Amino acid sequence: MIKLYDFPLSGHAHRVRLMLSLLNINYETAHVKLNEAEHLGDSFLSLNPFHQVPVLDDNGFIVRDSVAILCYLATKYAPQWYPQDAQSVALIQQWLAISTKEIAAGPAAARLVNVFNADLDHKNAIEQSHTLLSIMNTHLDSRKWLATNQISIADIAAYTYIAHAPEGDVSLEKYKNITQWLTRIEALNDFVAMPTTPVGLAG
């Protein structure tokens, strides 16, 4: 059985939980206690030397990094989420790259400040968030999904930190196309949300 090394308030981990749920894949969870530095211990470092969640163990095959895990799950279990024609791959990869750069530096960073007291430039993260959101909102003006005509792993990679941007004081109020896109994802069968209220690092 698949095992997911998880932390409830990690947006990166939520991407994987959401994908697993949407694909109806059974898995077990290993909760990594970040506040107790469990991610720095030898047993976890043997899974991920970068000491970050999530990590996926698929019957002994270990995958770290949320985007890599999304690619793996879709390719192995549901290729319609990651079509392999050249154009689709390029379009999806563009948004996967944005999820690891602009989204990480914008809404994800702003949330880290408020939820985890991260020592980051909150004002700059908010400014970067609105630059990104303005571009995304325009992009979604005449389309339902980010990359292709069908929902893909690009949408799942981008969803969590955009949906939880208000936790970092990044308002989504003026981005109608984005809020409609979020609603479409949340209406999917087997959608699972990430907690919106901090539950404590020891949870």
Tens digit of pLDDT for each residue in 45-82? 777 777 689 999 999 999 999 999 999 999 999 999 99
Residue 157 and residue 67 in contact, taking contact as beta carbons nearer than 8 Å: yes
Name, in order, each residue with C-beta under 8 angstroms of 110's C-beta and a sequence gap of 6 or more.
122, 125, 126, 129, 165, 168, 169, 170
- pLDDT score for 51: 63
How many CB atoms are closer than 10 A to CB 151? Answer: 19
Say yes or no to pLDDT of 197 above 90: no
Of 13, 5, 48, 34, nearest in space to 118 by CA = 34
More confident site: 49 or 179: 179
- Coil, helix or strand at residue 46: coil
Q: What is the pTM of this model?
A: 0.93
Residue 37: pLDDT over 90: no
- Domains of the chain are 2-80 (3.40.30.10), 82-186 (1.20.1050.10)
pLDDT at 57: 95
Check pLDDT > 60 for residue 181. Answer: yes
β pairing state of 55-58 and 2-6: antiparallel
Greater pLDDT, 31 or 97: 97
Q: What's the mean pLDDT in 5-20?
A: 96
**Does the pLDDT value for residue 40 go beyond 80?**
no
Rounded distance, CA 44 to CA 50, Å? 10
- Average confidence score pLDDT of the chain: 92
Q: Is the pLDDT of residue 116 over 70?
A: yes
